[in-house]
Chain A
Amino acid sequence: SAVISQKPSRDICQRGTSLTIQCQVDSQVTMMFWYRQQPGQSLTLIATANQGSEATYESGFVIDKFPISRPNLTFSTLTVSNMSPEDSSIYLCSVHSRTGGTDTQYFGPGTRLTVL
């Protein structure tokens, strides 16, 4: 299994500012992902964070709004730029792990963001 921590756990931000969310894993992993969960909704994949190369974004998400860094195999950051109230969500990171022949994803606890 993999243990994932995220910082901050929650934040309240002003419109127009940016917030960087950190994701730390207790072991080296190849695949890391960032999700958004809007209030009362399911999870939506934002991007795959690739180590040593640019992130791969899903449709509807762009690098200018959600820049992602992946400097090594245990750490990634997601920045929410030029925030508006519509960005108020929970942001979660996850990692892929193959244990005993089973492919699973482990999720962090999430970062709850409120934009005023």
Chain B
Amino acid sequence: SQKIEQNSEALNIQEGKTATLTCNYTNYSPAYLQWYRQDPGRGPVFLLLIRENEKEKRKERLKVTFDTTLKQSLFHITASQPADSATYLCALDSGAAGNKLTFGGGTRVLVKP
């Protein structure tokens, strides 16, 4: 069965450092991989999308890589700030018309000043 794994342990990081989160998947061939931010009690907020034929995508202080051979995506937050503290979710999109997203369990990031 399809499996998406994110590090369930919280990532504690000092302000200004780079946070790196991992998303691994098995038994899946996503056409797209997306990263979302979720704050407690709120809905997911879209951050970045990367296609299967793309290696890297950047948006401001965020960078995503996608390795379809390793079945892994890395999500980087550079120059982290306390406001970046949240849970980050990766989600796989098969590319089918229904565009169903399959989410990982998320990694909580806590940026300390």
Q: Do A and B make up one complex?
A: no
- Residues of A bordering B, CB below 8 Å: none
